[in-house]
Structures are given as structure tokens and as C-alpha cells.
Chains A and B, each alone.
Chain A
Amino acid sequence: VQEPLSTPRTAALLESIAGAVGPGFVIARAQEVRRREVIVADGRVEQSASILGRGLGAHFFDEDGRPGFASADGWEEAGAEQVRRRGVRSLELARRAGAQPSRAVFDAEPARAIENPETAYPLAHLDLQEVARRALEVNAAVLGLRPGLRVRTRFFIEREEWRVVRSDGTDISFLIPRAALTHFLALGSGGRVVTSIASRFGTSYEVLLDEGPVALSVRKAEHAAALLGELLEADDFAGGSHPIVMDHSLAKVLAHEAFGHASESDALRSSIMGRDGRFRAGEEVASPELSLVDEPIEGDYAWQPWSPNGVRRRRAEIIRDGVLREALVDLFSSDRAGVPVTGAGRAQSYGNVPLPRMSNIRIELRDPLPLDHDEETPPPAEAAREALLREGLLSDARPRVVYLTGFRGGQVNTTGGDFVFNCLALYELTRDGCTLHRPSIFSGSCLEALRSIRAGFGSLLLDSMGTCGKGGQGVPSCGGSHRLLFMEASPEVRLGGR
């Protein structure tokens, strides 16, 4: 039987920590994660596990604002005592080392709230044997899509709960429900193996039980499997700088890796979006049609309503109409960054220090262009080509556009402003047709990429899920853009290749 985090017992534990440093300040946190996971590989249950994790963590501040941190697993009084004792000791070390102080939390507004969103099914709706049976059915459906296909299907459901109690009486509890069904596909021939992924997330068992979500996951896998078959025969792409059109999942990686990380307020001394540690608010960095928005969306894979610092997370318009407006700012870096707090702190667990980071991030273009494809699978290359032809973006003056589709991850160096991401497939679009090539990295200057975005096609699709690994902490991320995003060629943005 689950003990809700909002009970008096957890309050007493957290309050005992929050009162530990006299004239200083404490942010005490309790977290619990319940997770059930099944992995099925090629028609057999590979793994089935039930996971429960609980712990306490706290940020301590002495009266000058010098910080320390301590954590312990479990919700026992002994753990709380360890956190108190070690937290006080961490402050001694901070004083001795002349740690950088921050008194922002002393002036923060107290808050009290409980936020427990409803889900279609409770965690106890299925036992894991039933989950495994359903996962086997879906795995079989995907395996049947193509001879020779190897399929690893993973389903997990997770309930992540936080309670945050501060010295000023703040007491926030919130629950984050999430679930995902992911197919990892591999197809081999003649010693070559190509791989792909198809995912669908939700907040509970609906992704495994309900007809619509399950059918969509199989459709996505079908799309990916068909592409794998073609990729086995495809050649490498020659590389270079080209006009690019990308699907929404790659646009999410671009938004997240190239622009989002650079807008996080804990590293603005070294970020291209900062100058002397302050956010470059008011500077024009993109076309006037472009906006970059991060916001928590209930039901989303990366939803989080409050930060582990006890501040409500709000929508951040990082870029509005081409101009930098807001950074992703936590309680502690607002003054230094020169922009308001957006409640952007997130942490993987009670044992991690919260850092400013994204939730659901998207690139939006004003007045998007029409697209004859409104599915949740990526637009076919031919649909992208037709849309470009119709808008005059594929023409004598611009005879070749490269279409990047399918997400395979990315990475950024915010100091130098360089990004890299990879796709599952690359099409060369010309007035005469579409040619598939093997995937190739897309890399270059973050700011130049931002300036090169010209148009969006179709409606917004914000379901591209992933895990952000900033600071060694894995936190769910999500986002997207229009069905297609078009970028002009730039010498500072290039595709790899042979």
C-alpha cells in the first residue's frame, strides 16, 4: 500500500531537516519512484522488474547563503538524522573553502500545494504478468511487420513523487505519472545491421492497453521497419552545407541541444546565450517569425509542475519573434543572469542537486505553411518534396534540399556553441524525386542554425521523448515543432558524410 508523500510522517521528517541550521535556510526534499518494467525480445520475456526507490535530500544554506547538500536513501529517522548532521558539516566545509554564497532562497515566496494529476489507469491496474502478456502481444505484432526483423519491446510505468519543505513553511507535494512503450528494431543482411526506434508515451497503461495508442506504436514501428529495409541498400551521403528540412523529432533535438541548453542559467558565463554571466535578453538571434518556448504540459513525458526548490515551473518564452526574452532560470541564478525565475530546476533524484533544465521545448514559426500530412508518423519524403515545391523552396535557385528524419540523439558544447545530432535517415530531395541515403550527422554553430530557420510546415507535434543527461543526471525531456522545419543553407551548419 502506497504511503502518500503528503502524510504527516514525511512532513515531520522533512520539517526536522528544514529546521536544522538555526539562522540559515534549508530546502528539504523527499522523493519516491515506483516503476514497473517489462522487456520482451523477439517473442520472449527478457526482463520483468518492479522497482521502488525512496530517499531524502536537502540543500543547506548558512546565514551568509553559503550552500551545502546532503542526502540519504530511505525515509527513516536515521536517514533524516544523517542528512541533518552531514548537511551541517557540509556548511563548515563551504565556509572553510569560501564557497560562493546565494541568499536568493531567503527572499523567495513561500508556497503550499498538492498536485496529483489523474491518470487513465492506476499503477495497480495490472500485475506485471499481465503487462508481460500484453507486451508479448504487441511485440508479436511488430515482429510480424517484416521477415528477419528483430524487435525488443520495452514497456515501463512510473510514478515519481516529490515533497519539498523549506524553512519558510513552503510545503509542496507533486506526482509525475509517466509510461512509455518503445520498440527497438534491428534488421540485418549480408553482414550489415541497421537499427531504429519507435516510441509512444503516456501517463499509465493506456499506451499498452488502449487501441489508439497501441495502434500508433505499431504504425510508428511499421514506418521505421520499412525504412530499415530501404537503408540496407542505401549509400552514404556526400556531406556539405545544404538547405535542410527536418521532421519534428529532429527539430526537438535542435531546440533542446542547440538552443535550450545554451539558455540554462547555471552556465551563462560560458554559454553563447550569455555575456559576462548575464542572459543576452533583448538581442535579436533569429528571424522575426520564430519563437522558442519551454513549458510544462500536463500529460507530457517531461511534465513537472514544481521545481525541487519549491517554485512553480512556468512557461518560458526563450525567444519571442526572433528576440531573446527569457532564460531557463532557477531560484538561485536569476540575479546573476539578469532575468526572472521560471522555476526551471529539475533533479533526477533526491540525491542530486537540482539544475536549471528543460521540460517540453518547441520551435514555433508564425503562419506555418500547409502540409498534406497530419499523422503522428514522420512525413514521407514525397510529402516533404511536394510541400517544398509548392512553396518554391525547391526550385532552380535551390535545386537540392536534404530531408532529415528520425531522431537518434544529439550533443552540444554550449561553451563553443557547437551542436551535433544524428538522424535515422537522410533523403536528397530534388525537383525530379527523392533519394534515400544512410544517416549522417548534422552539426555546426548553434546561433547560425537558429538564424537559418525560415519556415515551418503543418501543425505542431510535441511528442518527441528522450532523456537529458545534463550534469550526469538523467531527466525525461520532450518537445518538437511543426511537422517539418525548413532551414536555409549556411556555411556554418553542415551535414557529415563520407
Chain B
Amino acid sequence: VSGVAGYFEQLEEALRAGRSGELSVRHLRLSWSEAETLSAGIRDSEAAGVHSPFASATMRSGSYLLEWSDGRLSRGNVDGSTLANVEEVMEAAAASRVDDPEGANFPGPEEVPDVPLHSEEVGRLIDEDPSHLAASLSLLTERGAARGVKVLSGGVSAARGRTGVWSSEGLRIETPHTRFTFSSFLDGDVYEWFSWRKVFSLEEMTRRLMLQEELHRSTRRDLPWGERRAATVVLHPHVAEELLDHFVLGNLEGSAVEQGRSPWSPADFEDGSRVFRDDFRLAVDPLRPYASGSYRFTREGVPAALCDYITEGRLREPVLDRKHARKLGRRPTPAPASGESLVLEAGEPVPWEDLRGGIGDGVLVLSVLGTHTQDRARGAYSLASPTSVLCRDGEAVGKVQVVLHDDFFENLRSPELRTVHFPYHDLPGLAFPSVVSPDKG
């Protein structure tokens, strides 16, 4: 991105030279990013209308960590206006400095892995010829209309940028990256979202949309769920990711562990306490070439690496930033950037097509409402699903609206837990026995 290094180099220099009264800057860590995005959306079946127009955005952003000559620390944000206001920013930073011994993390030079995250073709799409973006939007609208979708939402976007972390101790890492994303939401029932570091061709988009349309066809017939009863519940990968993020990753987060907001204590990680079934594994793998969730280093400059949080059902590593790693006496860990970087295992995954044939009575859960309202520390949940597919004797027979009440921690301990492979999704879905209620009555 033109001019980015110049801007942030100037800013780094200005921050390092910053003073406030008698105070001067002793150490600095600067995390920065610049991105350029071109996007358009479909809202309430209106393509590129006034609420989701073709939009072009440039954004510089980031954060600084300063240690002043009195040993105190300041944190703040940076953006495209910081350099022009750097004196004011430094005054505010000095006024906000605090004692925070564990927060003083100014890493030196680090080796970071070479993960391909950048594609020239995305850059060309933004700079030279954006016609593929318009064609992608047309593809979404035309397929929706041809298949009788009453209300279509979604969109396409292309982005490119650079990200870096520099420190006064000699850390100097930066990387270019790109991203192409499309999403499609059919009749408020079936949502799909795909993101990659390269451009999706129209043919590739079509293949993925066809699978979504097949799911959509199975939701066209509304059916009652009937009585509350035991059934096999299959969480679509989007839903599995949502629950994993809330109940598992949220409780693995370092500050929650350290401050007692997680059911898992620091000692549980020391002891490798068993929390899930003995073949359960949850890890982050940010090294997959061109994957949307991949990266080379975190915002704090922690190098990307494969990291197991839970293996054999036992707690191994919390998700630790540098500060909480010091507080807990452990090393900082890579963090999941999105579901695409997660690794989830619990036995051999079974393809959805195969599993469906073996379900006597069950639901494929395509969406749930209210995950963020659940008490993450308990694991128990009570979630309404406005769109689930009733599966009976191997057939997807129609849409049901149900309520799921269960305990996600118990689900992940169940001997009958299975991971389910869905095409084009790296993260599997999850299947387990549960009790399902109708959403009414």
C-alpha cells in the first residue's frame, strides 16, 4: 500500500522522540496496519443500494505501548491522524501512564515463519480492474433470483494491506496480506461465508453456492418439531465455531483464567486437567498457506506457530498474550484469528452425507440465536434455533424451529460426540445426542 511504511516510520520516530515535561520515552512497541478495501453488499434484496453501496475505504490503525523514563506504561491507538497530532497524543499518553510491571513487553528480534498471505490478483482487482467484484455481486443476485429466493442478503469484498510490529528493542517484522470474501444469506435461513487470501473465481463461487442452495431447498418446507425428545444434534461448522468460540476459547482466554472468570484455573493447565473426551483436540494452526485465518505474527509480535490448547481432552495452554503469560509464568501463545485457523478433532471425522444416512431422527442446526447471552463459565446453554433441518431416516425433510438445552462441556465429553466434515469448511461440524424442544409451547 503506497506510503504506508513512510507514515509509520515517521510515526515511530515521533513516538520515540516524544516527551512530556521531564518524561521521555524509554521503550516503544508499535503495532500497525494499513488496509484498503473495496466492497459491495446486497441488503434486503437490493444490490449495491444506498445501505450497502460500492464502498472504498483506506484505514491506518494500530496501537502503541510506551515505557516512560519513570518506568510507567502507556497504551493507546494510532491511526491516520496520529502523526499530525503527535504532541497531543503524547501528552494524553503521559497522563494515562500506569504502573504495570507485567505489561512491559518490548520484544527483541524474532524469527517469524514465512506464511503466504498475499496475492497480486487481489491487488489488481482493487487498483486496476474491479469488474470481477461487480461480476461476483451479479452472480449472487442472479443465482438467488433463479432459485426463487425471496429475500437475499450478502456481499463481496476485496482487501489488501500490510501489518507490522516494531519495537525499540529491535523487533521489526511486517507482512503484506490480501483477502477476498463473499457471503450469501438466503431468505434469512441459510447463511454462508467464505474468505480466502486469493480471488475466488466465479466457477469456485458457484460450486460453493450450489451446496448452500441445496441446504436452502431443504428448508423450504416448514415442519413442526413435535414433542420434546431425544435426537441427534448436528451443529453446522458455523454454529460449532460460534459455540466453541463462546464456551471454550472464551474460557481459555488468559485474563479470564487469571482473574477467575473461567471455570479453569491456572493450576488446571499446570496439571493438564481432563475437561473433555480423551481424543478431543483444539489447536490453532495459523500456518496454512492463503487460509483466511492464517498469519505470520500476532499484534504483539508473537510468531505464528501450531499451538495445542487442549489435547487428549486435557488442558494444555491458555490463549496468552504477553502480559498474561508473564502473570501466569508461561510463554505467550499464538491466538486464533478466526475459525479458519482452528483445528478441532474428536475421533475420525465423518462426512455429512454419510452421517445423514445414519440419523434416524435428528436436526442439522444451521443457526442459533443468543449464544452471546449464555453464561460462558457454566457451559450450559439454552439456545433457540430459527433454522434447523429435520433429518429423518437419512433424508433432509424440512425446516424446523427448535430450542436446544444442554451443556456444551458435557457434549464435548460425550462418548457419542463426532466431528462432521462439510465440503469447503476446514472446521468440522459437531454431532452428539441431545434433547430437542419445539420453539413454541
Contacts and interface: CB of A to CB of B under 8 A. Distances in A.
A493 to B, nearest CB: 8
B77 A45 contact: no
Contacts of A413: 188, 367, 369, 386
Name, among B54, B60, B261, B383, the residue most crowded by chain A CB atoms within 10 Å (CB to CB).
B54
A194 B373 contact: no
A269 B44 contact: yes
A270 interface: yes
A195 B92 contact: no
Contact of A93 (B40, B80, B383): B40
A333 B46 CA distance: 12
Interface stretch (A84-92, A106-114, A168-176, A282-290): A84-92
B62 to A, nearest CB: 11
A456 B123 CA distance: 58
Interface in A131-188: 132, 150, 152, 184, 186, 188
B134 A96 contact: yes
B384 A48 contact: no
B47 A100 contact: yes
Interface residues of A, number: 97
Contact of B382 (A68, A79, A94, A441): A441
**Which applies to chain B's interface (DSSP): helix, strand, loop or mixed?**
mixed
A422 B383 CA distance: 10
Contact of B45 (A90, A128, A269, A409): A269
B54 A411 contact: no
Interface in B115-142: 130-131, 133-134, 137-138
A48 B75 contact: yes
A413 B385 CA distance: 10
Contact of B81 (A54, A98, A191, A239): A54
Interface string B428-439: 000000000101
Interface stretch (B93-101, B210-218, B293-301, B347-355): B93-101
Contacts of A415: 151, 187-189
A494 B150 CA distance: 28
- Which 7 residue pairs of A and B lie closest in terms of their CB atoms, listed nearest first? A415-B188, A496-B382, A422-B373, A128-B96, A73-B80, A99-B48, A74-B80
Given A51-B76, A79-B58, A497-B405, 20 more contacts: A36-B92, A50-B92, A50-B93, A67-B49, A76-B81, A86-B56, A90-B56, A93-B48, A94-B54, A102-B49, A128-B97, A186-B377, A188-B263, A192-B263, A241-B440, A411-B370, A416-B188, A420-B369, A441-B403, A496-B382
Interface of B: 40, 43-61, 74-77, 79-82, 84-85, 88-89, 92-93, 95-100, 130-131, 133-134, 137-138, 150-151, 153, 187-189, 255, 259-263, 367, 369-370, 372-375, 377-378, 380, 382-384, 386-387, 401, 403, 405, 437, 439-441
16 contacts: A48-B98, A69-B53, A71-B58, A73-B60, A86-B56, A98-B47, A99-B49, A102-B50, A128-B92, A194-B377, A414-B188, A419-B369, A420-B369, A420-B373, A441-B384, A496-B382
